[in-house]
Amino acid sequence: MNKRRPNPKQVPDPNEPLWRSTLRVAMPLNLSYIPIGLACGILLHAAGFNTLLTGLVSLLIFSGGAQFLIATMLTINSPLLSIVLMLFFLELRYALLSSSLSPYLKGQSNRFLFIFAVSLNDENYAINYLKFATDKKWTGKEALMVEHYSLLFWAVSNVIGSLIGSALKIDLGIVNFALTALFIYMIVMQIKNRLTIVICLISGVLAALCMMLTKSTLGLVISTLIASLIGFLLESTLRKRLPDSHWLWRLHSPGSKKSAVENTDN
């Protein structure tokens, strides 16, 4: 977005119907969902999901990370309890997202909050958070429309991916790297200071140790709990004892024009 000149997209056209103005806001996200949704559909098909269930999981869970996780854990034959526990820990982060959106949704009915929560996810959160923070006219209604557009694109891409997966024979080892790349992307997006990098290293070593000891993916749950707790304790001690510590300095990425959206903690 160009900050100097007024962006023509920001100028509201009073005659434009709401479905089109919200669609325009949602479109960049919708388009980037297509390749990821296709990859996710192919992976879920490879993990044994049929097309109908792939559509259902995209509608009900609607989370790239969670669906990729289901696909990997099924291909390594994890037990049901282990998968649900991992999903629970993965989805716990949504508590943070919906907490930070709550000031903008005060006074909405419980029914609205229910529908809004069902189709909330990381990416449409990022868009809506930015719009709520910068656009006074952005209300829950528009935010919900953005959520539904992204949900539609996500579910359709997944179903098409599932159909492609059943028509083609694809090297699963390579397609599986889509999920590794997605997780790496998410890590990079989460890194805000040097301390986060230390936590990553701790978490990585702990994860390897815990998985070797437990001989199951339950090790992931244990290491995630320990590592995030260490991060929380380290940060609060540092902030108390050494508030100017260079470990807490913010890191700026060259392409960080979007970072205003992701830095939700300030």
Partner 1 sequence: MSTVNTWTSTQHFWLIILGFFVAFVPRFLPLMLFTKRAIPEWFNEWMKYVPVSLFTALVVKDIFINSESYQFMFTKFSEMLAAIIVVFIAYRTRSMALSVVVGLIAVFLLSMVIA
Min dist. Cβ of residue 21 to partner 1 (A): 24
Please report whether residue 83 would count as binding partner 1 according to CB under 8 A: yes
Binder among 10, 32, 134, 237 for partner 1 (CB under 8 A) = 32
Q: Which CB, 31 or 133, lies closer to partner 1?
A: 31
Site membership for partner 1, residue 189 (CB under 8 A): yes
Contact between 243 and partner 1 per CB under 8 A: no
228-to-220, 231, 262 alpha-carbon distances in Å:
12, 5, 19
Q: Is 98 in the site for partner 1 (CB under 8 A)?
A: yes
CA distance linking residue 231 with residue 228, whole number of Å? 5
Bridge partners (DSSP) of residue 250 are 193
| Nearest distance in Å: CB 143, partner 1 | 12
Please choose, out of 19-27, 81-89, 130-138, 152-160, the segment that lies near partner 1 by the rule CB under 8 A: 81-89
Residue 264 vs residues 49, 101, 116, 130: alpha-carbon distances, Å: 35, 10, 19, 10
Residue 99 binds partner 1, judged by CB under 8 A: yes
27 sits near partner 1 (criterion: CB under 8 A): no
Residue closer to partner 1, measured from CB, 12 or 225: 225
H or E segment and range at residue 117: helix 110-118
Catalogue the long-range contacts made by 170-178 (C-beta closer than 8 Å, 24 or more residues apart): 170/42, 170/46, 172/43, 172/46, 172/75, 175/39, 175/42, 175/43, 175/46, 176/43, 176/72, 176/75, 178/36, 178/39, 178/40, 178/43, 178/68
160 binds partner 1 (CB under 8 A): no
111 touches partner 1 (CB under 8 A): no
- Is 110 an interacting residue with respect to partner 1 (CB under 8 A)? yes
Which is closer to partner 1, CB of 21 or CB of 214?
Answer: 214
Give, as ranges, the residues between 47 and 76 that touch partner 1 (CB under 8 A).
Answer: 47-50, 53, 56-57, 60-63, 65-66, 69-70, 72, 74-76
Interacting residue with partner 1 among 84, 135, 242, 250 (CB under 8 A): 84
Give yes or no for residue 238 binding partner 1 (CB under 8 A): no
Residue from 19, 24, 185, 250 in contact with partner 1 (CB under 8 A): 185
Q: What single string gives the DSSP state of each residue in 23-73?
A: HHHHHHHHHHHHHHHHHHHHHHHHTT--HHHHHHHHHHT--HHHHHHHHHH
- In this structure, which amino acid lies at residue 26? A
Alpha-carbon span 151 to 136, nearest angstrom: 24
By beta-carbon proximity to partner 1, the closer residue of 94 and 145 is 94
